[in-house]
Amino acid sequence: MEIGLFEYTSKIIWPEYDYLKILIEFSAIYILYSVYKASVCKYVNSRAYTKITRIEKTNNEEEVKKQKQKTQEKQDKQEKNQKQGKRKNSEKEQQQQSKDGQKQQIKQESQQQKQENHSHISYKELLKQEKHNKSLQNKEKQKSSSKITHPLYLSSVKGFSDYITDFAYNNRYLIATGFDNSIKLFEMEQFFKNPEQPKYLFHTLNDTHATAICISKKEEIAYFSANNQLFNLEFYPKAEDKQYFKVIPKTKNCHKSDINSLHVDENDKILISTSSDTHIKVWNMKGELLKEINTSYGEHYSSCFMKGFLVVSSWSVDTSIYEIKFNKDHTFRTLEKEEVLRGEKTSVLDASLNEHGTLATLCNKSQCRVYRLNTERKLKEDAKLLTKVELQNISAAAVNENILVVAADRNVHVYNRNATILLQFQQIDQIDNAANGAYIKRVRIHELHSSLKNKNFYVCFVWGQEEERITVYDFTKYHE
């Protein structure tokens, strides 16, 4: 119908034209023109883009060339300067090279000498010793030169060039061993004669240091362990020929690891050694093994011995008490476990036993416990817990009949037994920086008789870890 109307109108307006054909032709021409225009625009744009890219590439290439030229110029200048500097410093460098070569030769010669002098020691161990010596030198530089000014301070056991490994004492002597292979013997009277610089006798071991030492209560003889071997140490403090010490080997390969505690009984019949290999061994004076016990506690930290009772503190939470039994002729019969103190939550780090049967144990670095042991054994009674002391960072403890000493945070806390309440201790004093700022490893209280003043004295030994001295305090006023 629409086509009919279009034809009717075309005949009326322009009868001579065929409008339908004209419209079709015009649309075809328009389509061809639009296609041509699009193709021409794309061509023009592509040409323009290529021109722009070419220009950018040329610019970039020019910039790169300029940068390369600049870098080459800088390198040339640096090479010239280096050549000039090398020409100027060639003599100095030659001198330095010659000095370095001399130093290396000296080091090699020193290493060869050390290996020749210490043929039984490996080169790695020598390096460890050198590192240890360097660390000690740095510590000496860092140490303060301040002196202990506490009114109870009596004297100090000095003269070591390295830290002390162990010490022991009786009523007349105090003997100490150091990592510098030395053994020093002090007379107790020297602490009262010359407290500032007490005299001592010394002996140097050959290429080894003692790990543990004990001293006889009657004779002038001591026993020490080194390189897992036991030795007798006889000393003659009044000898005219100046040969004060005599070392006699006893036995070899005592334990699988180093001995950390060594004890002798009151009659000089047996020696007791404990080690971190969890073994307790009893020896006679000829070096023969009498008894061996494997506690299986993981590691022994320390032990104390008094009047036939051996208390072992170890990695276990229990504190074991052993009793040494003798025959009527004072010969060794057996070593038996008598009691186990329970109640600690962690391992027992230290233990101290006095001749009155009072025991102080240290556990968890925060609690010290005091027990009363049944030393007579006539009645089968267990140990009684007397008191507990709780402090932070407890490192050592010792107890006497009436005095309790606890070391914590490099300070020493002194407790006295309450006269009204026998099972309690009250703090009466505190000694700050008792070991000259060092970490306190052990404290011990000892009663001695001074022939100078004809009086009994009570002294407290404070041993700082990695410290070259033992500090001595006078605790006599606490016992008056």
pLDDT at 184: 93
Q: Residue 2 has what pLDDT?
A: 47
Least confident among 127-131, 188-192, 448-452: 127-131
For the chain, the 3-state helix, strand and coil shares in percent, each to the nearest 5, are: 30, 40, 35
pLDDT, position 5 = 47
Vertex 91: Cα angle to 89 and 92 (nearest 5): 65
Written out in words, the top-level CATH class of the domain with range 148-479 is mainly beta
Segment among 36-40, 388-392, 462-466 with least mean pLDDT: 36-40
pLDDT of residue 89: 57
Residues 132-150: pLDDT tens digits? 666 665 555 445 445 778 8
The full DSSP string for 253-276 is: --SSS-EEEEEE-TTS-EEEEEET
pLDDT tens-digit readout, 288-298: 999 998 887 66
Q: Note the Cα 309 to chain centre separation in Å.
A: 31
Phi/psi-derived region of residue 364, left when phi > 0, alpha when psi is between -120 and 50, beta in every other case: left
| 8 Å CB contact between 413 and 392 | no
- In one-letter notation, the amino acid at residue 345 is K
- Give the Cα separation of 172 and 22 in Å (integer): 142
Length of the chain: 480
pTM assigned to the model: 0.68
Q: Is the pLDDT reported for residue 166 higher than 90?
A: yes
Where do the structural domains in the chain lie, given as residue ranges? 2-115, 148-479
